[in-house]
Amino acid sequence: MSLGKQFALYAITLVVFLGIDTMWLLTMSDRFYKKNLGHLMRESPDLLVALAFYLLYVLVALIIVVMPAVDKESLLQAVGFGALLGVAAYGTYDITNLSTLRDWPVIVTVVDIIWGGILTGVVSAAGYLVANWLK
């Protein structure tokens, strides 16, 4: 795949990830996160820090999940390993918080890990489909 197509794949996958996660956060922020973590939350998120996470996370998902699945011609591999990456990444964050922060709610850990698996599985599937379209 040419560098231009790789950049297009990255950009499209990033937009998909941002779109889905933004909908989740807009829907769940007040009713779930503020309810459970309000005492820890900023008035508004640091968007540069969030952007750094999104830029890195999508790159990693493409390198270690999507492209190997494209090579194997397996959408199922993209979804499965994407979900596994999401569970591992979101789990690392949330389980560490559960371990180290006073009053970190278990329910936040459980919901975030499930969300990370679903989100990354879906985005990896989208990346897989885009990569095949760009071939």
pLDDT of residue 65: 98
The pTM for the full model equals 0.93
pLDDT at 1: 85
* Whole-number pLDDT of residue 44: 86
Segments making up each domain of the chain, as ranges: 3-134
Tallying the residues shown for the chain, one arrives at 135
What pLDDT does 135 receive? 85
Query: Which residue ranges of the chain lie beneath pLDDT 70?
Result: none
Supply the pLDDT for residue 39.
Answer: 87
Q: In the prediction, which pLDDT does 43 show?
A: 86
